[in-house]
Amino acid sequence: MRIKIILFMGWLIKKHEASLTPFGIYPGARSLEEHIRNGIIILDKPSGPTSNQVDRWIKDILEIKKCSHGGTLDPRASGVLVIALENTTKLMPILLSSKKEYAGIIHLHDKVEKKKIEKAFKDFVGKVKQIPPKKSAVARKEREREVYYLELLELKERNILFKVGCEAGFYVRRLADDLGKKLGTGAHLQELRRTKSGNFSEESTITLQDLVDAKEENRLKEVILPMELVAETTRKIIISDNAINNICNGAPLAVGGIIKFEDNIKKGELVSLFSLKGELVAIGKALMNSEMILNKKRGLAVKTDRVLMKKGTYFI
């Protein structure tokens, strides 16, 4: 007899089960120490310091040993810089690959009609080949990145106010140079601000001063967000309490340990494993797609890559 499968708001339910064990804790109920250890900061980076300098300042403010940013911003650029604290640095594969959005000003070296600029913009949407700038930290070999949209917001004399949504690793300064060449005038990037990184936008950012004030006023839980929010850009799988201890020891996830999962999981993609209490347990590579997970009674569904939960948290 085939098991009845229920699709609810994008979730496929494998079996009905609740967390009845005393183990684990809801993310919002973590102690301040654990909240920081498993937290992120959505910072509004100012123009001037390097992203690495910002990391050092945050370590000093919070008196922690480790933090890292997801996607470097040039010293002259400002905007959304996601900072992973302590344990959350294990989520760098998600943060570094997240989509980005920027707003900025490109200064043309000569006047160009708006229609001509708009026509040129269309050539920079889709798969775009770039050679990284000389000062970049990667090899200067031609590579391809996707631009999802490129909008001309305003043209004032020789200054173009624009917005661009792109794949991680796309160089906006190179876009300005290439646009200038295409228009035959030359151009350079005058100002740049990151407005989105993954599912985080500038509306949710805080400043370094906000962080200092929150620490002095014992409000750090208000400005440091739980690491679980980083995983919102991945497909999620909810696992049973009985499966968690094995996952924490690096074992792969078998289909028998799955309670429910999001639809449209693709084989080979990065997925996030959550407890029934909403804790991020680990991230890993899907060994099955959604249909296989749904229909298989045995087999390995996910190869565990990075474990976020402490060993022994669910010792059943």
How does DSSP assign 117-152, residue by residue?
HHHHHHTTSEEEEE---TTSSS----EEEEEEEEEE
Between CA 245 and CA 156 the distance in angstroms is: 60
Between CA 157 and CA 161 the distance in angstroms is: 11
Query: Which of 55, 60, 74, 178 is labelled catalytic?
Result: 74
Strands 270-274 and 235-239 turn out to be parallel
Between CA 80 and CA 72 the distance in angstroms is: 10
Q: In 3D, which of 199, 201, 219 has the Cα closest to residue 210?
A: 219
* Contacts of 210 by beta carbon, 8 Å cutoff, 6+ apart: 223
Q: How many CB atoms lie within 10 A of CB 5?
A: 12
Alpha carbon separation from 66 to 15, 86, 89 (Å, rounded) = 39, 5, 8
Structure tokens that stand for 249 in this block:
């020891």
How does DSSP assign 230-256, residue by residue?
GGGGSEEEEE-HHHHHHHHTTPPEEGG
Structure tokens that stand for 50 in this block:
């390097």
Beta strands, E only, 2-142: 6-8, 11-13, 39-45, 67-69, 78-85, 100-108, 126-130
- Under 8 Å between Cβ of 95 and 55: no
> Is 74 considered catalytic here?
yes
Helix axes 51-62, 208-216, angle to 10 degrees: 0
Structure tokens that stand for 33 in this block:
């120490």
Name the residue with tokens 């391809």: 144
Q: How many CB atoms lie within 10 A of CB 127?
A: 9
Active-site amino acid positions: 74
